[in-house]
Amino acid sequence: MNLFFVFLGIAAWQDLRTRRISLDVLVGGENPPNPSELLGGERMKELLTTLRIRYDCIIIDLPPVGIVTDALLLSHEVTAYLLVVRPASAI
């Protein structure tokens, strides 16, 4: 099970997290048939609201900007961006 099941209401995010000493990880898993609808939907906003209360820092790993709309959909929900680029490929 992965985050997709949380959006469907089948699982709770607490049951899907992988716990490490100072880190909890929620895995997105396989690509669902409608990732943009899920990431831009109300359940994602509710999840982020819940996670903000519980955690000091939330890191969301998304596909490259411009390839799919995932990063754009969540841009209004985050406080900062971290772009990772290969040397000489950002030109």
For residue 24, the surrounding DSSP H or E stretch is strand 24-25
In this model, does residue 90 exceed pLDDT 60?
A: no
Give the CA diameter of the chain: 44
pLDDT at 54: 92
pLDDT confidence band for 50 (50 / 70 / 90): very high
Q: What is the pTM of this model?
A: 0.77
Average pLDDT on 71-89 reads 79
> Are 65 and 82 contacting, i.e. CB atoms less than 8 angstroms apart?
no
